[in-house]
Structures are given as structure tokens and as C-alpha cells.
Structure 1
């Protein structure tokens, strides 16, 4: 049997991450017999803590780090996230993983399990407080179990939204019941009429009425849109 990662250790991890405005986004123990990624030693992980952000809180920390890097650095936010979460993993005996790792890990499924969230019509998980303005930046895998209860009774705000403005604001109807028309969106964002999306972010996402206090500022949305379009 492995040990139990106590609440005091989880609190210490949260404190270390909060210095960079990252937060723990829940966690859970993998079920017995469940196929899991390896932990630090290479043995199967027994538990996971998700790391992410609420709103754009980490942005100033990221910008200070970015100023010291090469101007040509690719995927800087991923690199910064890996460094910060990797340092926490080293300090607390975990293995750090990232949403951009290949092969891709099931971060969305992990988020649904850890926080009880469900996808919005845009595919982004809807959070009862943050709305669509949150993200997972990585996760810590442990070979011990953790002392956390799984969430219960989380309200899915999309069920209360009758108008669904998130499906009515995109000029090229990139989101529909058929899913996300990636190529259609990409062509529009890169084109002459895509300036509002490039400078202010996805119009459908911005139309969501929930979590507006956490909405990313335009410069943050422009950063993410440029990464999406590789502009």
C-alpha cells in the first residue's frame, strides 16, 4: 500500500503555486485497475492534482518571466507553465504533466472528474464561478493517494441559459450542434474580417453571460488568438 498525501501537503503545494497566481483545480484518486499515466518513479500514478488559473491572474507573472526570454521563443506560456509546475513537482515529489504533452492526456476528462464540470456548447468546461474564463495549465501525478473528496452537485450554468448567445455571435457560425468548424474559424480569424476576433478574442466566448468578472482582458485574448492562428 502507498501512503496518503495529507491535507497539509496539499495546502503547501497550493501556497507554492499561488506565488505565481496558479491554483489547484481539484484532484482525485485513480480507481483500482484504472489505466493511469506513470508517476515520478515510472510506476502507475495513484492520484492527481490539477493546476490551473481563474481569470487572467497569472498574466503579470508570465509577462515578467517572458521579458527575460528570447523574443523568438515558441509557445512561451506553455514553457512558463511547465517551469512553474515542474518546480512544484520537484519540491513535492510528483511528476508534472502538461496539456500540450504528446500523446495528449485527457485533461478535460480529468477536469470534469476533479471539479464536476461539464462542457459548454463551445466545448470549454463551464465553471460555476469562473464561467468560460479559466484554464488547466498542468497536473501533478503522485504515487500516493490524496485526502480529497470528489465534488458533488455542481451547477451546470449552461442548463439555465435559454438564449445561448455563445452560439449566435460568431460571424461564420464556427460553433454549432455539429461541433467546432476549426478550418472555417481559422480562415476567418486570419482574414480581413477577422480583426475583432484577433484583437478582442472569440465573439462567441465573450457573449457568454457567466463569469464576466473573470473575463480575460483584450490583450490576453489577443495573445491566445494569435497562438491559435499562429499569427
Structure 2
């Protein structure tokens, strides 16, 4: 059975109630398995553009124990799980183990390519977007074929995203993870802790979707706390 596009419109509306959006989808060439071993024929990716989910997340968080280790993941699982249950899908998360190839799925679903920071560059949202989960279906889904996407990094000559970090955490050689972590945790890491990654903020694309400082600080605190 092929799921009709009308169902996709209904799923889109259900996700929008919590500030989330569909990020494309496709049919697997062969049946694939989720971490629980269950088979899937197709996938719809769920994520965000800019800060749209934040008010919904914060209202939920205010009603939860403050000891929740990963509140944004927990909220995302709950919201996407509810939508999955309503539409006969299974919800999976980027943090599920063994890890699912979310970045590969995103490349296929939206035709995106990585920026020099490793974050996929979106032609509209720039670096200010994320994938929060996916809906797996046992049936095929009817989604429009993905049009060719312009990769903005190809025309960016100056590459300010590689010049703004005080410890050169990002370079053409890759991500200097330990240098970044030590800086964020250290005495001179306040600009990053309170306002987010300087390299990411230096990107000139999608600035209207840039996360506000409090959201960037939330993610930076999570990075500093969880990383080792």
C-alpha cells in the first residue's frame, strides 16, 4: 500500500502544533531495520527550522522534574512518538542505539551537503535547523521527488565559519573536539557558553533563523556537560 499525500499533510499539521516540521522522506530501496529489529519500508524525517519548537518545549519542561538528563530529547521523543502512534508509524530518534544513519537520510531526503562545520547546510535555513526524529512506516509513502539543492558553501569564498573560533576548533582538517571542549569549559569560554559557537554564528546564511542566545546557551551547556 502507498500512503497518500493527504496523510502527509495531516502529519505536517500534527507536528506544527509543537513547532516541528517534516524534513522530507523517501522509500528505502530494500526493507531496513530500526534498532528494535522491526522492518521499515519508508521514512519521514522530523525536525525544526529556527527556534519554532522552543516555546512548546519550554512549556513542557516547566512541568517536568528538573533532573531530566536530556530534556530536549525526551520532549522530542514524546511529541514525535504521539504523532507516530496516531498515524501508524514507529518513531525513532538520532540518539537511539545502535545509531541510525540520520545524516545520510537527511542528505537523501533534502539533498543537503555538510558545511565546513559538519552541520548540513540548508539553502533557506543555513545552519539553523535540526533533525529531532523520524517516522518509519511499513508501507511506501508518496512524497514529491527532491529537487536539486544549491549548496551555499560552494559559493562562499571567505569561509568565516573557519576563522572566528579563538582555538581554531574547526578547520579543513576537521573538528578539534578536545580543544573546543576545553575552551567552552575554561575561563575564556564565556562568549561561547552564553551565545553559542562563534564559528556557527559567523555563517552569513539563514541568519533570520538563527537560534536566540538562550537556545544556543542551552545547547552549549549540554555539550559541555555531556561530552568527555
TM-score tier (shorter): over 0.9
Asked if structure 2 preserves the Cα contact closer than 8 Å seen for 1:27 and 1:150, the reply is no
In the alignment, structure 1 residue 37 sits paired with structure 2 residue 46: no
Kept in 2: contact 1:30–1:46 (CA 8 A): yes
Paired residue for 2:118, among 116, 123, 136? 123
**1:141-152 to 2 correspondences below 5 Å:** 141-152=136-147
List, as ranges, runs of 4+ consecutive aligned residues in structure 1 with deviation greater than 4 Å: none
1:18 aligns with 2:16: yes
For residue 30 of structure 1, give the secondary structure of its aligned residue in structure 2.
strand
Cα distance, 1:148 vs structure 2:
1.1
Structure 1 gap segments, 5+ residues each = none
Q: Which residue of 32, 46, 52 corresponds with 1:51?
A: 46
For the 8 Å contact 2:24–2:110, the answer to whether it is kept is: yes
**Which of 200, 216, 219 is 1:205 aligned to?**
200
Matched-pair contact (CA < 8 Å) for 1:20–1:61: yes
1:225 aligns with 2:220: yes
CA RMSD of aligned residues (A): 1.4
Pair 1:193-2:193 in alignment: no
Q: 1:152 offset after TM fit, Å?
A: 2.2
TM-score (norm 2): 0.96
- 8 Å CA contact 1:39–1:141 kept in 2: the answer is no
The equivalent residue for 2:26 is 28
Q: Any unmatched runs of 5+ in structure 2?
A: none
Question: Which residue of the partner structure matches residue 170 of structure 1?
Answer: 165
Q: Could you say which residue in structure 2 is the equivalent of 1:80?
A: 75
- Pick one of 83, 101, 106 that aligns with 2:101: 106
- For the pair 1:65 / 2:60, whether they are aligned, the reply is yes
Count of residues in Structure 1 that have an aligned counterpart in Structure 2: 226
The TM-score normalised by the length of structure 1 is: 0.95
3-state DSSP of counterpart to 1:100: coil
- 1:150 deviates by 3.1
Give the distance between the partners of 2:180 and 2:210, measured in 1 at CA: 21
Whether contact under 8 Å (1:43, 1:143) holds in the other structure is no
2:218 is paired with a residue of what secondary structure?
Answer: helix
The Cα shift of 1:87 comes to 0.2
Secondary structure of 1:149's match? coil
The secondary structure found in structure 1 opposite 2:19 is coil
Task: Identify which range, 100-109 or 77-86, moves more after superposition.
Answer: 100-109
Provide the rounded CA distance (Å) in 2 between the counterparts of 1:59 and 1:140.
21
CA distance in structure 2 between the partners assigned to 1:150 and 1:143 by the alignment: 20
Residue deviations 1:8-64 (CA, integer Å, cap 9, x gap): 1111111100000100000000013x6x22499x65211000000000110000000
